[in-house]
Amino acid sequence: MTKVIVQECESYEVNQIMNQINGGIEALGGWSQFVKPLDRVLLKVNLIGPKPPESAAITHFDFVRAIVRILRVQECEVWIGDSSGGAIAGIAPTAQAFQVSGLEQMAKEEGALIKNFDKEGAVEVPRTSKSGETMFLAKPLFDADVVINLPKFKTHSMGIYTGAVKNVFGCLPGLRKAKYHRDAPAPEAFGAILADIHQALPISLHIMDGIVAMQGEGPTAGDPYPAKKILISRDPMALDTVAMSMIGLHPEEVPILSEAIAQEIGASVLEEIEIVAKPESLLQLENFQLPKRYQSTKKQSYSSLIRVIDFLKTRPEVNRKKCVNCNMCVESCPVEAIDRETKKIDYELCIECLCCHELCRYEAVELKRVNFMARVMMKFYRGKH
């Protein structure tokens, strides 16, 4: 029977977090079950955008700090990685998000390495739900010896709830996330992408930051809620099932989880999960606000979302006036989509991972909107600001 550990934690005081996480890991057999000395351990955080830690939109930097310190005691090399959202609007603000969140400074203080998935390359993997199709995931996920998922306990205005299963969407580097949103706007289809990522990734452990959760219109516009919880499990679906039970939800009510259930990513029935917790830790969170959409029964139309994504679509282009022919973009492209002589990008090959954009020291690789009117509007906006 899969096991989920629920620990009470009052604040982001680092020693308190370390004690609670270490106690939870002991209930799973101890750290030796997951890591060994000299392992390269990648902590996949929730870094949805340039949000400060108090927003409750991201994995809190002191929560991550506590785990870094624990792993350093285990003599591990620690990496912290993600690719932020925002690509639908033609922006991939991962570098800025690492700064604003406090994660970059914390990593420097604790001796951890930041892995910006938008400039680390990508690995092609098969999709389980669609035979013959592939997807590209950030290379550090496969370079690491161990991957630990660090989701945030949050509601989601479209998806109702987001946690351990959903957090892997940031494993898709760069602008590719926008393509998947466009191709799979319905929650069930989008959930298939999440399930496929879980099938492709060697994630060993999931530790949820629920000390301050987000309620209401998450994943970024909701309100902080002092849930005072840390959830730990080998099983992302089981972890989410237990977390949802605390806010009155069942997995069947969250459409993006339907494919994870179908692909048997993990346990989705409480009776099939061994929960290690004090009885009071499992009480429903008082006055926790769910998204307004949860109360609505009207059928959702996704055509408008697709039109917005198409209008704002962005792709990298090399500005030849700025280019100095250093060929960093050519060498860094994981699919060899950039011509060495002309610097033209073959968009049939391009996976929009943003390695070229992130690694160009001369800012010659620019993100350009494909739609002409969108370009005009953006120029006007920049002129006004």
Task: Write the pLDDT tens digit of every residue in 115-147.
Answer: 999 999 999 999 999 999 999 999 999 999 999
Q: Are strands 203-215 and 229-233 parallel, antiparallel or unpaired?
A: antiparallel
Q: What is the rounded CA–CA span in Å between residue 324 and residue 340?
A: 12
Q: Amino acid identity, residue 84?
A: S
186 pLDDT above the threshold of 90: no
Tokens read off for 363? 């800012």
Q: What is the rounded CA–CA span in Å between residue 61 and residue 273?
A: 30
What pLDDT is recorded for position 298?
A: 47
What pLDDT is recorded for position 379?
A: 58
What pLDDT is recorded for position 296?
A: 55
Q: Which residue has the higher pLDDT, 295 or 178?
A: 178
Nearest in space to 159 (alpha carbons), one of 301, 294, 23 = 294
CATH 3.40.50.11440 residue window(s) in the chain: 2-295
What pLDDT is recorded for position 377?
A: 55
Residue 213 has a CB neighbour count (10 Å cut-off) of 27
What pLDDT is recorded for position 4?
A: 98
Q: What is the rounded CA–CA span in Å between residue 319 and residue 76?
A: 42
Q: Which residue has the higher pLDDT, 379 or 208?
A: 208
pLDDT band at residue 375 under the 50/70/90 scheme: low
pLDDT band at residue 86 under the 50/70/90 scheme: low
319 pLDDT above the threshold of 80: yes
385 pLDDT above the threshold of 70: no
Q: Residues with Cβ < 8 Å from 315, sequence gap 6 or more?
A: 175, 345, 347, 350, 352, 367, 368, 370
What pLDDT is recorded for position 358?
A: 72
Q: Are strands 40-45 and 146-150 parallel, antiparallel or unpaired?
A: parallel
Instruction: Assign domain 313-384 to a CATH class.
Output: alpha beta
What pLDDT is recorded for position 297?
A: 45
For 120, the 3-state DSSP assignment is coil
pLDDT band at residue 314 under the 50/70/90 scheme: confident
Least confident range from 21-35, 57-71, 82-96: namely: 82-96
SS3 content of the chain, % helix, strand, coil (to 5): 40, 20, 40
pLDDT band at residue 184 under the 50/70/90 scheme: confident
- Mean pLDDT within 182-198: 89
What pLDDT is recorded for position 306?
A: 60
Q: Which CATH architecture has domain 2-295?
A: 3-Layer(aba) Sandwich (3.40)
CATH 3.30.70.20 residue window(s) in the chain: 313-384
- pLDDT averaged over every residue in the chain: 90
What pLDDT is recorded for position 334?
A: 86
Q: Name the one residue in this structure whose structure tokens are 């011509």.
A: 339
299 pLDDT above the threshold of 70: no
Nearest in space to 196 (alpha carbons), one of 215, 218, 157, 168 = 168
Q: What is the rounded CA–CA span in Å between residue 176 and residue 84?
A: 11
Q: Which residue has the higher pLDDT, 183 or 221?
A: 221
111 pLDDT above the threshold of 90: yes
223 pLDDT above the threshold of 50: yes
CA distances from 361 to 49, 134, 301, 327, 329 (A): 23, 31, 42, 11, 10
Asked whether the beta carbons of 339 and 346 are under 8 A apart, the reply is: yes
Q: What is the rounded CA–CA span in Å between residue 239 and residue 208?
A: 8
Query: Can you point out the beta strands (E) in 216-358?
Result: 223-225, 229-233, 273-276, 314-318
Residue 361 has a CB neighbour count (10 Å cut-off) of 8
pLDDT band at residue 26 under the 50/70/90 scheme: very high
- Mean pLDDT within 14-38: 98
Least confident range from 17-31, 128-142, 167-181, 209-223: namely: 167-181
- Burial grade of 120 (CB within 10 A; 0-12, 13-18, 19 or more): buried
Tokens read off for 150? 């660090």
Q: Residues with Cβ < 8 Å from 286, sequence gap 6 or more?
A: none
152 pLDDT above the threshold of 80: yes
Tokens read off for 117? 């998935």
